[in-house]
Amino acid sequence: MPTEPCFSVPLSATRRGARLARLLATEQLRRWGLPLDPARLIVAELAANAAVHGRVPGRSFRLTLTVVPPATLRIEVTDTRGERLPERARAASELLHESGYGLLLVEELADRWGVRGGPMPAKTVWAELDLGS
């Protein structure tokens, strides 16, 4: 039974690491022959959030891309600030002046997204895109 395509890499929890996440995701999507957008936009937002809001000095975040059968791209960004959970964009709409539009963008572009806690002290913010047939 073939394994599902998966790409996973640790990156520094910095703006440079977030930028590298987008570049690496773009290259991996090209290798797999998948559409670049909106996946690379979602990666950029989730990686930027990990670098800014999920940063713990000396700790990295992890980007994982997985193609889940039959046709779903799953994007995961794991950081070590499990106690800082992102709020759903609609619930946080009054706070946009403080937190920006990143999760609102993710909510609009992704078919599904959410947050999974653990193992402590980590959390994973994930988004899925249906690739069609």
Count the neighbouring beta carbons within 10 Å of the beta carbon of residue 32.
Answer: 13
**75/132 Cα distance (integer angstroms):** 16
| CA distance to 4, 27, 131, per residue, from 1 (Å) | 9, 26, 21
pLDDT of residue 106: 94
Residues 43-77: tens digit of each pLDDT: 999 999 999 988 888 889 999 999 999 999 999 99
Per DSSP, 26 falls in state H
Sign of CA dihedral 6, 80, 123, 101: negative
Burial of 123 (0-12, 13-18, 19+ CB in 10 A): buried
pLDDT of residue 87: 67
pTM of the shown model: 0.88
pLDDT of residue 3: 63
